[in-house]
A and B are shown apart, each in its own frame.
Chain A
Amino acid sequence: MKYQPVIGLEVHVQLLTDTKIFCGCSTKFGSEPNSQTCPVCLGLPGALPVLNKKVVEFAIKAGLSTNCSITPRSIFARKNYFYPDLPKGYQISQFEDPICQRGWLDIKLEGGELKRIGITRIHMEEDAGKLVHGDLSGLNDRSGVDLNRACTPLLEVVSEPDLRSSDEAVVYLKQLHQIVTWLGICDGNMEEGSFRCDANVSVMPVGSSTLGTRAEIKNVNSFKFVKQAIEYEIRRQIDLIEDGGTVVQETRLFDPNSGTTRSMRSKEEAHDYRYFPDPDLVPLVISDEWVERSRQELPELPEQRQQRFIAELGLTLYDAEVLTASRALADYFEAGVAAGGNAKLVGNWTMGEITRALNDSGTSIEACPVAPLQLAELLKLIDNGTISGKIAKTVFDEMWRSGKAPQSIVEEQGLVQVSDSGAIEGLIDEIMAANAGQVEEFRGGKEKVFGFFVGQVMKASRGKANPSVVNELLLNKLKG
């Protein structure tokens, strides 16, 4: 029998606010344990949460960018369970009436086909702290609680079970990742857990409309692992069914070392979270005006920007996609065009030289030592024939190293292209005289030695001779 996998994702997005969701403590990563805490995030008696407005703004932006409706009156709820990293014994989250509901994302499948993936809801919640195991404070084999991360703001984005393969899941996840980083509401760092994912996976016979029993897979924190975990789980469930077994509803943990999943807790062991509205927080009322204001403030999203690059700047779809991989890259490219650079040329250079240099040096586009304006200046020098494309690469390397303007590098190093036919003819004459044999070969019909002559002339000019002038003059002379 053939099986159809059905997948839904729950993605936790850590928000890039300076302070926590319900108190004023810093959200900075990697500080001394428990140094970023206060009575509220420590869950001390008598402490009360106060909602960080920035979190709401970020949630609205995420909702609008994924075609969700913004709930006019949304409610915070308590999710009750005991764990040492959860200081209050409950997590403040949203249950009924989350801030964003009923959205979708059109994901781009291989071959450009679009598929609409429903987004059930996006809700706001606080993160828990972290347990640390090992030798602590001079004592062996202890467990410690670090509450720096407690109360850090998260969005949970829950998709409909609309995904049908691990590849679709990865595409969806990548697009969501692109949106939240593009909006500037998440740093997208999967290793540090800023963007993490749980996958609900089930299988059913092809053609069936009854969903199979699902397993929830936790702890998949890279695109690669998502693919691995889902594929392993699909295989496991199919094998189980084919061996006459049944899939049980359970929570499974992905082990990145073995690439497998193992049972964490069964349905019977599942928590009864006893959700109820948090009486310490008043209902969050979001006016239409607030939503509209947020909509106005939304940046142009990747999809829209690609369309504009194609329509207005004449880029190919492929180039438009590459150049919108991140908002900063797209901004860089557009700034180059705005500074007068030829769009095609700025695009090629941004995707080529710039990206290569950034990768080689491990630099981010935000910290690129060659500003878009300087790149545009350099490309103008090619456009107006001052230097050749080849020389431009040398100039670019120098710009990257020294930060100098392209014009000064060209002047200082005497790299201006030679287009004067008298000077070039002189060089051609010298080279033809020195290579009489090859001249004969050319004239005897062996045209591929032409390349040899071009190379010799360029070499003699130290790359500065204008290649099209060289070509034209050389052809005339060789033909006699």
Chain B
Amino acid sequence: MNIIDMTIHELHTALKGKQLSSVEATTAMLERIESVEPQVGSFITVTTEGALANARDADQRIARGECHLLTGIPLAIKDIFLTEGIRTTCGSRILDNFIPPYSATSWEKLRDQGAVLLGKLNQDEFAMGSSNESSAYGPTRNPWDTACIPGGSSGGSAAAVAAREAIATLGTDTGGSIRQPASHCGCVGLKPTYGRVSRYGVIAYASSLDQVGPLTRDVADCAIMLGAISGYDPKDSTSVDTPVPDYAASLAKGVKGLKIGLPKEYFIAGLDPDVQVAMDAAIETYRRLGAVFVDISLPHTDYAVATYYLIATAEASSNLARYDGVRFGHRAEADGLLGMYSKSRSEGFGSEVKRRIMLGTYALSSGYYDAYYVKAQKARTLIMNDFMAAFASVDVMLTPVAPTPAFKIGEKINDPLQMYLSDIFTIPVNLAGTCAMSLPAGFSNSGLPIGLQLIGKPFGEETILRAGHAFEQATEWHTRKATI
């Protein structure tokens, strides 16, 4: 088998059995990156030397008999994760020169197992976008069709997995930023429950919505990655102190009797016909596997996008205030303090980031706060209550990830509202704070991947992974490879 096509569990077996070294695997990945990067653009920074050094260390650990599931596995992570000594841009010009003095907890956990870091992945600037077109480092292209967007904001994380440039990757999801690109690129992507994974060292976009999660080739890999990064972190007050289950152990338990909810608000007119076909087929597959379907309603779904764009932008306007040119990042030469601030920020931020800072600043302004921010928080509570009420009668929910397959680069870049609506099925999950996964469930007529979303109860990752695994065992979608 080709090294670049391997999953984590396959490569782990090969490394442990000494059929392969981490240096060999890493070299193969670096060569693949070199050959396809000009077409895909998944990476902002490739850490060739560091990756080989990591691989040599991993090989020594393996030789000592110390082979964790991720020891020696070549991974890549979104450029939103701080990596000590390695430039971290968050897709923004304002952090072009930023070399962090510390690392994100989630990446540290992978590194402690001996994972190899291939590099830092492209993304929408400050994770604001659904197409990876807002990156200051150029767009990432969809490995299935390079005229299309890979999705965003973790577009580089999804494209790298699909293009076989990394065995698995880490992304972040604030309104669908893991699931939507996973869907568009035909990989598995999981957004954990808010608080499941530490946000420490992850550059904040919208703090009450951001979560770290894996993008992988299959559900088993997703379980391995999630297990590795999960857990309470005393450095993140919003991380939750509940035990981390052995996700891999319960994968094979099947879905017999599992109650799956179909929220009617997610199966609307205007859904792309190819997506509808894929959803119908998925429902049929689950029915065959013994799952039970229940029609449910999430009545406040209509308010989700508006609510999200008030809360997320409000938090972002504050979170991005620290990029002021004083202590790190881009600083413009200008007369006086105010001039320095405004010039640094004007030059450093791209237009989508500026748009969201302005929206958020407005939503928090005195005189508008109650009408926008406070009202949005109330709507958020209603949306959360929708989910909790529905979960009283079902174990998981099944929905599309996105209303359409990947669209063309440039198609929506000048129409922010259309762009925002591409996250309509993923945003409510972040507002509710619960977990959801995207997994390959078909292809469009033009050969673009279509994802299926499984939404779980808070801390119900085990159940959606199990349901996803059962689907994967019964279908072939995840085995198809991008043509690149």
Contact = CB atoms under 8 A, between A and B. Distances in A.
Interface in B283-332: 314-315, 317-318, 320-324, 326-328
Nearest to B374: A276
Interface stretch (B184-192, B196-204, B409-417): B196-204
Contacts of A272: 365-366
B236 A274 contact: no
Nearest to A83: B337
A48 B366 CA distance: 26
B453 to A, nearest CB: 25
B237 A49 contact: yes
Contacts of A88: 321-322
Nearest to B238: A282
Contact of B327 (A48, A87, A279): A87
B50 interface: no
B100 A276 contact: no
A377 B202 CA distance: 65
Interface in B9-47: none
B237 A43 contact: no
A48 B200 CA distance: 6
Contacts of A90: 318, 321
A46 B237 contact: no
Contacts of A280: 204, 207, 237-238
B104 interface: yes
Contacts of A80: 317-318, 321, 364
A48 B101 contact: no
A123 interface: no
Contacts of A51: 237
Contacts of A145: 326-327
B369 interface: yes
A44 B237 contact: no
Interface in A402-416: none
B202 A44 contact: no
B361 A45 contact: no
A45 B203 contact: yes
Nearest to A51: B237
B273 to A, nearest CB: 39
A324 to B, nearest CB: 40
Given A42-B327, A82-B324, A87-B322, A279 B315 contact: yes
A205 interface: no
Contacts of B236: 48, 50
A43 B318 CA distance: 12
A314 interface: no
A153 to B, nearest CB: 16
A81 to B, nearest CB: 9
Interface in B239-255: none
A279 B207 contact: yes
Interface in B78-111: 81-82, 88, 90, 95, 98, 100-102, 104
B477 interface: no
Interface in A20-57: 39, 42-51
A281 interface: yes
Interface string B378-403: 00000000000000000000000000
B8 to A, nearest CB: 26
B208 interface: yes
A84 interface: yes
A281 B208 contact: no
Contacts of A274: 317-318, 361, 364-366, 369
B201 A46 contact: yes
B452 to A, nearest CB: 30
A84 B326 CA distance: 7
Contacts of B366: 272, 274
Contacts of B237: 48-51, 280-282
A145 B340 CA distance: 15
A50 B324 contact: no
B100 A89 contact: no
Contacts of B238: 48, 279-282
Contacts of B373: 276
Contact of A89 (B88, B322, B328): B322
Nearest to A49: B237
Question: Does more than half of chain B's interface fall in helix, strand or loop, or is it mixed?
Answer: loop
A90 B314 CA distance: 13
Residue among A82, A274, A282 with most chain B CB within 10 A: A274
Given A84-B337, A145-B326, A274-B364, A78 B202 contact: no
Contacts of A46: 81-82, 100, 104, 199-204
B234 A50 contact: yes
Contacts of B101: 39, 44
Nearest to B198: A48
Given A45-B203, A48-B236, A276 B318 contact: yes
Contacts of A39: 101-102
A393 B203 CA distance: 69
B155 to A, nearest CB: 20
Interface string A344-373: 000000000000000000000000000000
B100 A43 contact: no
B322 A43 contact: yes
B355 interface: no
A32 to B, nearest CB: 17
Contacts of A87: 322, 326-327
B407 interface: no
Interface string B332-371: 0000010001000000000000000000010011100100
Residue among A44, A46, A49, A78 with most chain B CB within 10 A: A46
Contacts of B98: 45
A354 B95 CA distance: 62
A48 B235 contact: yes
A362 to B, nearest CB: 41
Contacts of B321: 80, 82, 88-90
A89 B199 contact: no
Nearest to B361: A274
A89 B344 CA distance: 14
Given A274-B365, A276-B318, A89 B90 contact: no
Interface string A167-193: 000000000000000000000000000
Contacts of A281: 237-238
B276 to A, nearest CB: 36
10 tightest Cβ-Cβ pairs between the two chains A and B: A89-B321, A279-B208, A274-B364, A279-B207, A46-B201, A45-B203, A46-B82, A43-B322, A88-B322, A272-B366
Given A42-B327, A44-B100, 8 more contacts: A44-B328, A46-B104, A84-B326, A88-B321, A88-B322, A272-B365, A275-B364, A281-B237
26 contacts: A43-B327, A44-B100, A45-B82, A45-B90, A46-B100, A46-B201, A46-B202, A48-B237, A49-B237, A50-B237, A78-B318, A80-B317, A82-B321, A82-B341, A84-B324, A84-B337, A88-B322, A89-B322, A272-B365, A274-B317, A276-B314, A279-B207, A279-B238, A280-B238, A281-B238, A282-B237
